[in-house]
Amino acid sequence: MTEKELLEIAKKVRENAYAPYSNFKVGAAILTEEGKIFTGVNVENASYGLSICAERVALFKAISEGYRRFKAIAVVADTNEPVPPCGACRQVLAEFGSLKVIMGNLKGDMKVKDLSELLPESFTPQNLRR
């Protein structure tokens, strides 16, 4: 699976986003170490705080199916520059180790970074005192 292919999957699923308040549709696709892909879209709610980002939807779907190790996540939105995950999504992703983050937009622009670059010194299970 290439970075561009994973981004295309995120772009396609983006159309399923439920964003009646912001009209900001986001699609995500996460690739497990085993090669399985899970997709997600943002889902808004009239009570804004109850909305959820596409990245977390994709991750939570993978987790619910028993996957815990990930190679990459692609995220795409209709933005001028490739869209990065929000801070909350970065932190949730960091729970499961570092992975490649493929950021894109509808124009076909793409930027790739390691999650550790986007969230340096993240709080992870390894930081907990036991």
What CATH number does the domain containing 92 carry?
3.40.140.10
- The residue segments making up the domain with residue 109 are 3-119
Per-residue pLDDT, averaged over 58-75, amounts to 98
Residue 129: its pLDDT value, please?
66
Number of domains in the chain: 1
Catalytic residue among 8, 15, 44, 55: 55
Distance between CA atoms of residues 80 and 90, nearest Å: 21
Q: Is the pLDDT of residue 123 over 90?
A: no
- 83 within domain boundaries: yes
Of 129 and 96, more confident? 96
What letters, b where the CB count within 10 A reaches 16 and e where it falls short, cover 64-96? eeebeebebbbbbbebeebbbbeeebbebbbeb
- 55 labelled catalytic: yes
- 126 within domain boundaries: no
% of residues, the chain, pLDDT over 70: 98
- 125 within domain boundaries: no
- 38 within domain boundaries: yes
pTM of the model: 0.95
Q: Is the pLDDT of residue 42 over 70?
A: yes
Least confident range from 8-12, 93-97, 120-124: namely: 120-124
Per-residue pLDDT, averaged over 84-90, amounts to 97
- 128 within domain boundaries: no
